[in-house]
Copies of this chain bind each other. A is one copy, B any other.
Amino acid sequence: MFQQKFPSRPIWLDESDGKIRIIDQRRLPGELVISELNTVDDVISAIKKMMVRGAPLIGVTGAYGVYLAFGENQAAADYKAAAGRASLIKAARPTAVNLAWAVDRTLEKAGQAPPEKRAEAARLEASAIAGLEAENSRNIGRYGLPLIESIAEKKPGKPVNILTHCNAGWLACIEEGTATAPIYAAHRHGIPVHVWVDETRPLNQGARLTAWELGAAGVAHTVITDNAGGHLMQKGLVDIVIVGTDRTTYTGDVANKIGTYLKALAARDNNIAFYVALPSSTFDWHLGDGVSEIPIEERDPDEVRYMPGFEKTRENLLMPEGSAAANYAFDVTPARLVTGFITERGICRAEEEAIRQLFSKSGLNRKSPENS
């Protein structure tokens, strides 16, 4: 681990030495630490420990993991062994569907290549997925921008107040982010924006990562507790909510970081637009009922019991020693609470028909949006 110049992506294959490197997101904003992923075990550990997190990013990380799996088994170019390793990568985190999608896709491409070319095919596919996600984010920004523009037109001279939860920024993706892509686009277009950043307990991805990203980009923002959003909406201090998602059913139900559902309820109660920004890789084309069917990861209760990023000492315990804690990582926002999806192909309602109209069943479309 070492510090280096500010990277522009949270994961990259370093051309100079062929190594895969990531920003260790557990250490931000205090330190910018770069780590190497040299083995499949490194990949699984990085995903489980949330050195990398965010649905598109763990997809890309998983894809690079498949490349490493073929590298490890290169002697025999053993497809079966690599596929076995890949299934372990997919199991590293259960909720985000991008992980399984990217791993399966990379495995398939490698399988189509002759044995001696499999590792290379996997590497190329992982890079292609990274490039695709970056392009998706840019297009999400392009399609989301008019939503912010139209609010700005109605309150000239005043900033557009956007609330977001967790981190769906470039750190969670590859470039630009999902929820943040329209925000960055608006900022570049000179539209005054101000972002309410939900702290996002227990791991504080909002306070640590989103605030760091926005600050670095010069976007005005204020960190709030996860409790505060409802009050801000009641007081007219939120114009629009934009969040990311880890898995979205074809019917429009949205699994995202725990607490998202509460903000969606408050937005509905106050007649505020609630948008979810996502690349099509986040759709699960097999699930129709998000609340009952999307698996919700339960993580180590110690993430709730102790301060994130602090040692597990008695001093850093946030509650009595004898008290239990529970740590559900995601919740599901039903489609009925979602105003719309901002995708790489455009905006659509959170309804099966509208989603299917915009996407082919494969869920992946390499073409640019029609009007771009």
Query: CB distance A323 to B227 under 8 Å?
Result: no
Query: CB distance A325 to B262 under 8 Å?
Result: no
Query: CB distance A266 to B261 under 8 Å?
Result: yes
A226 within 8 A of B: yes
Query: CB distance B227 to A201 under 8 Å?
Result: yes
Q: A231 — which chain B residues lie within 8 A by C-beta?
A: 258, 261, 296, 328, 330-332
Query: How far apart sit A324 and B296, CA to CA, in the bound complex (Å)?
Result: 32
A81 within 8 A of B: no
Q: A232 — which chain B residues lie within 8 A by C-beta?
A: 328
Query: CB distance A215 to B320 under 8 Å?
Result: yes
Q: A331 — which chain B residues lie within 8 A by C-beta?
A: 227-228, 230-231, 234
User: Which residues 223-249 of A sit at the B interface, judged by CB distance below 8 A?
Assistant: 223-232, 234
Query: CB distance A223 to B307 under 8 Å?
Result: no
Query: CB distance B224 to A226 under 8 Å?
Result: no
A319 within 8 A of B: yes
- Known contacts A215-B323, A222-B326, A325-B222; is-contact A259 B318 (Cβ 8 Å): no
- Known contacts A199-B201, A324-B221, A326-B222; is-contact A259 B227 (Cβ 8 Å): yes
Query: How far apart sit A324 and B320, CA to CA, in the bound complex (Å)?
Result: 30
Q: A332 — which chain B residues lie within 8 A by C-beta?
A: 231, 234
Query: CB distance A204 to B318 under 8 Å?
Result: yes
Question: What's the nearest-Cβ distance from chain B to residue A229, in Å?
Answer: 7
Query: CB distance A319 to B211 under 8 Å?
Result: yes
- Known contacts A229-B262, A262-B262; is-contact A324 B222 (Cβ 8 Å): yes
A305 within 8 A of B: yes
Question: What's the nearest-Cβ distance from chain B to residue A294, in Å?
Answer: 11
Question: What's the nearest-Cβ distance from chain B to residue A33, in Å?
Answer: 16
Q: A310 — which chain B residues lie within 8 A by C-beta?
A: 307
User: Which residues 116-163 of A sit at the B interface, judged by CB distance below 8 A?
Assistant: none
Query: CB distance B305 to A307 under 8 Å?
Result: no
Question: Which of B29, B230, B325 is A223 in contact with, Cβ under 8 Å?
Answer: B325
Query: CB distance A225 to B324 under 8 Å?
Result: no
Query: CB distance A324 to B223 under 8 Å?
Result: yes
Q: A228 — which chain B residues lie within 8 A by C-beta?
A: 258-259, 326, 328, 331
Question: Which of B196, B202, B266 is A265 in contact with, Cβ under 8 Å?
Answer: B266
Q: A320 — which chain B residues lie within 8 A by C-beta?
A: 29, 211-212, 215
User: Which residues 323-348 of A sit at the B interface, judged by CB distance below 8 A?
Assistant: 323-328, 330-332
Q: A208 — which chain B residues lie within 8 A by C-beta?
A: 318-319
Question: Which of B204, B296, B304 is A224 in contact with, Cβ under 8 Å?
Answer: B304
Question: What's the nearest-Cβ distance from chain B to residue A89, in Å?
Answer: 26
A42 within 8 A of B: no
9 closest A-B pairs by beta carbon, nearest first, are: A227-B259, A231-B331, A265-B265, A207-B319, A201-B225, A211-B323, A262-B262, A230-B261, A227-B258
Interchain Cβ contacts under 8 Å between A and B, 27 examples: A199-B201, A208-B318, A211-B319, A211-B323, A212-B319, A212-B320, A212-B323, A222-B323, A223-B319, A223-B323, A224-B325, A224-B327, A224-B328, A225-B226, A225-B327, A226-B226, A227-B257, A228-B328, A228-B331, A230-B261, A230-B262, A231-B261, A231-B332, A234-B332, A262-B263, A265-B265, A265-B266
Since A222-B325, A225-B304 are in contact, a sample of 8 more A-B pairs with Cβ atoms closer than 8 Å, ordered by chain A residue number, is A200-B227, A208-B319, A223-B326, A224-B327, A226-B226, A228-B259, A228-B326, A231-B328
